[in-house]
Structure 1
Amino acid sequence: MKEGTRARSWTLPDVSLLWRRADAGPSRVIDRAVELVAARLNQHLRFRLQSDEDLVLVANVVAHDGTPAPQIEDKLALFVVNIEKDALPPGRAATPLGAGRLGRAQPPLHLNVYLMLAAGYSNGNYGQALKLVSQAIRYLQAHPVFDRRTAPDMGDGLERLTLEVENLGTQELSHLWGVLGGRYLPSVLYRMRTVVLVPDGLVGEVAPVRGVDAMAGS
Structure 2
Amino acid sequence: MIHVLINTLAEKMNEFLSSYYERAEIIVEAGSIDATPNEDQSDKIILSIVNIERETAMGISAPYRNTKNNTFQQTSPPWYLNIYIMVAAVFSSKRYLESIQILSDSISFLQQNSILKLPDQGTITLEPVTISMQELSNIWSILGGHYYPSILCKARIISFDGTEIKDIKQRISSQKIN
What TM-score do you get using the length of structure 1 for normalisation? 0.74
Distance 2:104 2:77 in 1: 39
**Amino acid of the residue matched to residue 127 of structure 1?**
L
Query: Which of residues 73, 85, 94 in structure 1 aligns to 2:65?
Result: 94
1:172 is aligned, of 125, 135, 153, to 135
Match of 1:57 among 23, 29, 52: 29
CA distance in 2, matches of 1:91, 1:74: 45
How big is the shift at 1:99? 4.6
Where does the alignment leave 5 or more consecutive residues of structure 2 unmatched? none
Partner residue in 2 for 1:75:
44
Residue 189 (structure 1) aligned to one of 142, 152, 175: 152
Residues paired across the two proteins, number: 175
Q: Is the 8 A contact 1:74 1:128 kept in 2?
A: no
Runs of 4+ in 1 over 4 A off after TM superposition: none
Identity over aligned residues, as a percent? Answer: 26
Q: Is the 8 A contact 1:45 1:51 kept in 2?
A: no
Q: How does 1:20-59 map to 2 (within 5 A)?
A: 29-59=1-31
TM-score, structure 2 normalization? 0.89
Return the match for 1:155 from 111, 116, 119. Answer: 119
Cα distance in 2 between the residues matched to 1:123 and 1:170: 22
Q: Which has the higher strand share?
A: 2
Match of 1:113 among 83, 86, 89: 83
AA aligned opposite 1:94: R
Q: What SS does the aligned partner of 1:51 have?
A: coil
Structure 1 alignment gaps of length 5 or more? 1-28, 148-153
Q: Distance in 2 between matches of 1:68 and 1:53?
A: 16
Give deviations 1:115-143, integer Å, cap 9, x for gaps.
00001112410011101110010111111
* Residues 103 and 202 in structure 1, CA contact (< 8 A), matched pair in contact too: yes
Q: Contact 1:46–1:52 at 8 Å: present in 2 too?
A: no
1:89 is displaced (CA, Å) by 1.6
